[in-house]
Structure 1
Amino acid sequence: MTISSLSRVAAAEFAPEVTYLNTSSWGLLPRRTIAAVKALADENAAGRRVGAGSFEAVEAARVGFARLAGVRPDRVATGGSVTVHVGLIAASLPPGAEVLCPEGEFASVVSPFALRGDLRMRYAPLADLAAAVRPSTALVAFSAVQSADGRVADLAAVRAAAAAHGARTLLDATQAAGWLPLDAGAYDYTVTGGFKFLLCPRGTSFLTVTEEAQDTLPPLFAGWVSAGAPWVSNYGPLERLAPTARGFDEPPAFLSYHGAEHSLDLLAEVGTDVLHAHATGLAARLRTGLAKLGHQAVPGESAIVAVPGLDGRQGELVAAGIAVSAPAGNLRISCHLYNTEADVDRVLEVLA
């Protein structure tokens, strides 16, 4: 798909009633996704759907995310929350293990480690994260793109430093997957919430784990789904988990996953490279316009634009029908496939 044809797809799939620039909080649902969720809800209401949903939809979403993340589907576990995925990884570490995170990292990435109470936590500025890895570091846990201000981590440098010191890596791709090219297989673990840039209903989340790292994870959330054979492992203790990442599946929120397969199909049609060019191009236009108004945005090439100290203008923008957010003292504006140059110019007009 080309950038010029992307606008036709956006017009066919989305109809926001506001100027929507808040995907970092949650993404808009495509029409095809809404139709699938409604269809399943109607079937549930009528008693026509055995089991309340289809595992075929879950598998389709798994395959869709795997394609986007550059890994085989058997390296992807499905669930409902990044926090749960991170909690599983936190439970795998021995007491006293050192975990390195960026300063100001999103709570779901750092809290499961910090609140254990028996791990050694270290923090470093994002720009210095790679340099802060040392031989005693067991795990580097960080986001590809920071939620608070959209900064993109130096992914290659962190991977290289972790490899040099024998540390594992946990990457949160929630604010990146979809618009930023992702090679999930380059990390021991990745976690990705589906309800933001992946445009899935809330209740979809993906964990990837390498074959080597899989052996480190405990069967903490073992249940009938994690046996890898739904509907035939419902009673009595499991003999074993599924031998792939499916062994860490959670029972699915079927309404969410029936929609997720279609959202991920849409992103596949668009293509990460096309979406990256579109979203970062809009963000660059916004940064240039903000600078002309005397507002210095956080520099970089992210699809997320943050302006420190301008959080007080959020209410004015919302009153003008422009959806943005204001975390950590920043005005945060995020661009996705359904946004246009007119959306960006509307923000600049109000701020002027």
Structure 2
Amino acid sequence: MEPLTLTEAVGAEFAPETTYLNTSTCGLLPRRGVEAVKAAAELNATGSPDGGNSFDAVTAARASFARLVEVPGERVALGSAVAVHVGLIAASLPPGSEVLCAEGDFASVINPFVVRGDLKVRYVPLEALAGSVRPETALVAFSAVQSADGRVADLAAVRAAAAAHGARTLVDATQAAGWLPFDAGSFDYTVTGGYKYLMAPRGASFLTVTEEAQESLTPFHAGWIAGEDIWDSTYGPVAELARSARRFDEPPPFLPYVGAEQSLALLEEIGVENVRAHTTALAARFREGLVSLGHEPVPADSVVVATPGLAHRLDALTEADIVVSVRAGKLRASFHLYNTAADVDRALDVLAG
């Protein structure tokens, strides 16, 4: 099958009624995902035997995500939220372990370690992360792309520093997967919320775990689907846990995964490299326009553009049906495959007054 062009994909799947520059808050659902969720909900509502038990969609979403982040499907666990995945990792650390985090990173990457109370959580600037790993560091936990301002971590440098000191790595790819080509297998753990650049419904999230790191995790929220044979595991205790990362699954909320299956398939059809080329060009156009207006965005080679001093313009943009957000005191615009140069120029026109 020939890859879809972006124009073909957008025309077939998206019809936004606003100038939507806010994927870092929530991605738009493609039409095929909306229709699939509607159909599944109708089956559930009418008492169909196929309603509410879409394991086929769950399996397909797992496999599709695995291909997008370049790992075997056996290394992917599913859940409902990034914080749950991070909590599982936090619960498995020995007391007193040092966790190194980036200052100002997203709360879901940090809070599960902090609330334990018996871990040593240390914070450094994102740019200093690799140089701050030390022999006593057990885990480096950070986002590939910062939610607040779009800065991209030096993934290779952090990975190398962690390996040199025997530390494990946890990368939150929520603001990266879907537009930034990402090799999840290079890190011990990755976590990804599906409802942003993967354009899935809220309630679908993904955890990847290397085979070695799986040995250090306890499947604390194991339900019947964590069994190697799920239909022989409906009544406990489980005879045998899944031999893959599926033993770390939360019981899946089926409807979000019905939608996720469709969204991930669309991304595979288009290709992440094509999405990256399109979206980074739009972000660069927006940055250049902001500079021409006298504003200095946070430096970042990213689809997320955060600009100090413009938070007060949120209302004007909203009144013009342009959807952006304010994070950490900065105006944040974020671009995805359904955006165009006209969207960029419209936002710049409003900001120009």
Whether these two folds match at TM > 0.5 is yes
- Residue 337 of structure 1 aligns to a residue whose secondary structure is coil
Cα deviation, residue 300, structure 1: 2.0
5+ residue gaps, structure 1, are: none
Cα deviation, residue 305, structure 1: 0.5
Partner residue in 1 for 2:292: 292
Q: Does structure 1 residue 142 correspond to structure 2 residue 142?
A: yes
Letter in 2 for 1:87: G
Cα deviation, residue 2, structure 1: 9.9
Letter in 1 for 2:53: G
Is the 8 Å Cα contact of residues 3 and 269 (structure 2) preserved in structure 1?
no
Q: Does structure 1 residue 251 correspond to structure 2 residue 256?
A: no
Partner residue in 2 for 1:279: 279
Rounded to whole Å, the distance in 1 between the matches of 2:112 and 2:148 is 19
Is the 8 Å Cα contact of residues 40 and 53 (structure 1) preserved in structure 2?
no
**Which deviations, in whole Å up to 9, do the C-alpha atoms of 1:20-53 show, x marking residues without a partner?**
0000000000000001000000101111134612
CA RMSD in angstroms comes to 1.4
Q: What are the within-5 Å matches in structure 2 for residues 1-352 of structure 1?
A: 5-50=5-50, 52-352=52-352
- Residue 77 of structure 2 aligns to a residue whose secondary structure is strand
**Which deviations, in whole Å up to 9, do the C-alpha atoms of 1:163-195 show, x marking residues without a partner?**
000000000000000100110000000000000
**Which deviations, in whole Å up to 9, do the C-alpha atoms of 1:238-282 show, x marking residues without a partner?**
123211101111111111111111100000011011100100000
Letter in 2 for 1:170: L
Letter in 2 for 1:204: A
- Residue 52 of structure 1 aligns to a residue whose secondary structure is coil
Rounded to whole Å, the distance in 2 between the matches of 1:236 and 1:206 is 26
Bigger mean CA offset, 293-302 vs 224-233:
224-233
**Which deviations, in whole Å up to 9, do the C-alpha atoms of 1:186-210 show, x marking residues without a partner?**
0000000000000000000000000
- Residue 62 of structure 2 aligns to a residue whose secondary structure is helix
Rounded to whole Å, the distance in 2 between the matches of 1:49 and 1:342 is 47
Rounded to whole Å, the distance in 2 between the matches of 1:38 and 1:4 is 24
TM-score, length-scaled by structure 1: 0.98
Question: Among the aligned pairs, what percent are the same residue?
Answer: 65
**Which deviations, in whole Å up to 9, do the C-alpha atoms of 1:133-172 show, x marking residues without a partner?**
0111000000000000000000000000000000000000
TM-score, length-scaled by structure 2: 0.98
5+ residue gaps, structure 2, are: none
- Residue 250 of structure 1 aligns to a residue whose secondary structure is coil
Rounded to whole Å, the distance in 2 between the matches of 1:83 and 1:138 is 19
Bigger mean CA offset, 205-214 vs 307-316:
307-316
Letter in 1 for 2:174: T
- Residue 5 of structure 2 aligns to a residue whose secondary structure is helix
Rounded to whole Å, the distance in 2 between the matches of 1:319 and 1:49 is 47
Cα gap change, 1:157/1:330 in structure 2, threshold over 3 Å: closer, same or farther? same
**Which deviations, in whole Å up to 9, do the C-alpha atoms of 1:5-32 show, x marking residues without a partner?**
2122112100111000000000000000
